Structures are given as structure tokens and as C-alpha cells.
Amino acid sequence: MISLYARGLSTRDIHDQIKDLYGVEISAEMVSKITERIVPEIKEWQNRPLERIYPFIFMDAIHYKIRDDSCVVNKAAYVVMGINIEGIKDILGIWIGDNESSKIWLGVLNELKNRGVEDVLIFCVDGLTGIKEAISAAFPRAEIQRCIIHQLRNSFKYVSYKDLKVFSKDFKAVYSAPSEEAAMENLIELKSKWGKQYPYAFKSWENNWDVLSPFYKYPNEVRKIIYTTNIIEGVNRQFRKVTKTKSVFPSDAALEKMLYLATKNVIKKWTQRYRNWDQVISQLMIMYEDRLLSYL
């Protein structure tokens, strides 16, 4: 029953499956009580000690509708995924809370610290509300890298379809530049060409340059990891897959159970080190020798 629940079947669907397969009549309420047995396991997982340092941490939020008393409210599941010093991926925790704010994210980050995380080299995030301020407060030495792919999509949505192919080809000179200086020069040159026609396509790059520019100081091996947050969005796609049958969750706990079980299925597949990890960690050892050596 728990395995069926983990794959997104509702308690009613599980009731029907058990009846069809075994001829046994089990109420939806009984199915719900059986899944309650994993609650202590969830608490233990959510509070387990973490590693002292993570070279990379990815953070994202996925939104759901949850019943709260007699109302249906929008809430977010805050998901944190880390790559440890050995190059192994792990989901560090899932938090259910109100919609995004720096206060919520700071609470998540402080909980990571309380569970043993002392240092993070690079946080990879999308344009999440309040995330930049929260990271700066909790891990002031960490780099904050905004997803380049999302930034490009944000720019391209302001461009007419007839110009999009040429515009996107021109923009490659910005995100593939060998250095920050070269990237800025290319951005200025591109703005002189397209800026009058599409000013908003450049505004976000200028406003967020402080969290886009760290990308340029890293070699290609590291850039490939921090270029996009697709790695955590892949996790969110799995979450959406198992939650798609639920338009509204009856409680925070019900959502937490389903996401935890989905997490277990995702993590089971993460048995290999990140691709080319030897090259990645060698580069990071040179750039962050003083911070990494004490953890090896």
C-alpha cells in the first residue's frame, strides 16, 4: 500500500487496487492510517545529521494547494539538494511552508546549519523570492549563482518571434564568454544592437549581474554544473508526477508523506558520482584550498 501511495495513487485508488487484486475491502481511511506509519521515519530523515561541507547546493520551491481548516491555501514545498565532496547527490530536506520569502529561506538554511553544515561553496538557484538575502545572512562566504538557462528564458520572452533566432545566437557571446569582463563587453555591444527594440531583455541581466557573474570565474567543468538548475527541477518533475492526481492536499503532513516517498525512489537511482567529478574537485581544490582541505 505504501509503495502504491509513493507512486501517486490516492487512498481511494489504493482501495480499488487492493479490492481488484485480492478481493479485500479496505477503506480509504485505513489506507491513510497505514501510511501514517512512515511519519516517524520522515522526522528521522528530516533531522538526520548532514555533512560539514557541500561544494554545491541547489534550492527550489514547488507550489501546492493545501486545505487549512475550511480554506484552501497555496503553500510551497522547499526542496534542497546537495552534491557532497565525494560527488554524490542527495536531497537534504523538504520543508512545507507559506509562500516564498527571505524569512522562510533563512529558516531552511539555519536548519541545515543546525544539522551540521558548516560551509557551502556555491548555491545554485533560480530567481527565488528572498533567497539571495537569506544565503548572504546564513552563509556569507558562499557564492550565489543564478540559473543561466532561466535568465535566458526570461530575456527571450521579450523578443519577437521573428528576431528570436538571431537574438539568441547573438546572446551566446554573453553566456559563453571566457571571463566576466568579456561577458560585460559583449552584453554592452549586444544592447547597442538590440537595446532600443527590446530594452527589457537586458534589464534583468543588468539588475542581477551580481548573481550571474560568478559563473565566469569557473572552468568549464564547474560551469556545466552551475549553468542550470535542471538537476533539481528534474526532482520536482518527479514530485509533480506523483502528485498530479491531487488537486488539493488535506494537510501539510499528507503532502510531506508523498514527497518523502517520492524522494526515496529518486535517491535510489543516485548511485554514481557526478560526471567528471575528479576534474571538478581538482579545480575547486585550487580555488578554495583553504576551505576544502580541512574537510578532506
DSSP class of residue 60 equals E
Q: Are 81 and 58 in contact (CB under 8 A)?
A: yes
**CA–CA separation, 79 and 65 (whole Å):** 17
pLDDT (0 to 100) of residue 17: 74
Average pLDDT for runs of 10 along the chain of length 296: 69 73 73 79 95 96 88 91 96 88 90 97 89 93 94 93 95 95 96 95 93 95 92 89 83 89 90 91 93 84
E strand residue ranges, 69-142? 71-83, 89-97, 119-125
E strand residue ranges, the chain? 53-68, 71-83, 89-97, 119-125, 143-146
This prediction has a pTM of 0.89
pLDDT (0 to 100) of residue 245: 78
pLDDT (0 to 100) of residue 134: 93
pLDDT (0 to 100) of residue 178: 95
pLDDT (0 to 100) of residue 7: 67
pLDDT (0 to 100) of residue 8: 63
Per-position b or e across 237-248, b if 16+ CB within 10 A of its CB: ebbeebbeebee
